[in-house]
Chains A and B, each alone.
Chain A
Amino acid sequence: AQSVTQLGSHVSVSEGALVLLRCNYSSSVPPYLFWYVQYPNQGLQLLLKYTTGATLVKGINGFEAEFKKSETSFHLTKPSAHMSDAAEYFCAVRGGANSKLTFGKGITLSVRP
């Protein structure tokens, strides 16, 4: 069994500020972890993923995430927010070879000028 917890539903930051979106997971097998972004009226796009190897992964648009097994976390960060980062962000976990992804409820990121 696997699950994802994204605490809170909305985060607001100022343009240029640090973005931190939290994700905790549970998985009975070594997990594959993903962050997706959804812009208004669009489908989900992959931001980044962790499968094996380096625990700090870099994605598109300056985002990165670090897999911390001891904390069962995969938090998403970006040093400096841009207005264009305003979107909904989903964390997801896949349990090994199982094809099925389990998504968190998503977090809406707002960026203030």
Chain B
Amino acid sequence: DAGVIQSPRHEVTEMGQEVTLRCKPISGHNSLFWYRQTMMRGLELLIYFNNNVPIDDSGMPEDRFSAKMPNASFSTLKIQPSEPRDSAVYFCASSLSGTHKSEQFFGPGTRLTVL
């Protein structure tokens, strides 16, 4: 199994630009999670989906952030416009929910730097 795939691995952009992060979950998993990790705030859950439907987006910091999951094998997290304080590592994770085996499997992360 290829695991959770994220792209790009690194992104450097200028303030005001649109940024799109991509995630491919593990095949067969029906839950997908987006996290942000910073030194100051640690690991924060931004949003998660069950069966492609957003369930909890209370962690999305503001309207500049949006996430979609058009199908079971793909999700995007978009920041528009980006700001320097958005610099962080963004992780995607997936799991098979509804069972006791539903641990989350994490991707390698996207390191975002907004100048």
User: Interface on chain B toward A: helix, strand, loop, or mixed SS?
Assistant: strand
List chain A residues, Cβ under 8 A from B33. Answer: 100-101
Answer yes or no: A97 CB below 8 A from chain B CBs.
Answer: yes
B4: chain A residues within 8 A (beta carbon) = 43
Total of A-B residue pairs, C-beta within 8 Å:
52
Across the interface, do B107 and A100 meet the contact criterion of CB distance under 8 Å?
no
Kindly identify which residue among B55, B91, B105, B108 contacts A99, using a CB–CB cutoff of 8 Å.
Answer: B55
- Specify which chain B residues have a CB less than 8 angstroms from the CB of A101 in the assembled complex: 33, 45, 104
User: Are B106 and A43 in contact, CB atoms less than 8 angstroms apart?
Assistant: yes
A43-B108, A43-B109, A105-B42 are contacts. A99–B103 as well, Cβ < 8 Å? no
Tell which of B43, B97, B109 touches A90, judged by Cβ atoms closer than 8 Å. Answer: B43
Which residues on A sit within 8 Å (CB–CB) of B61?
none
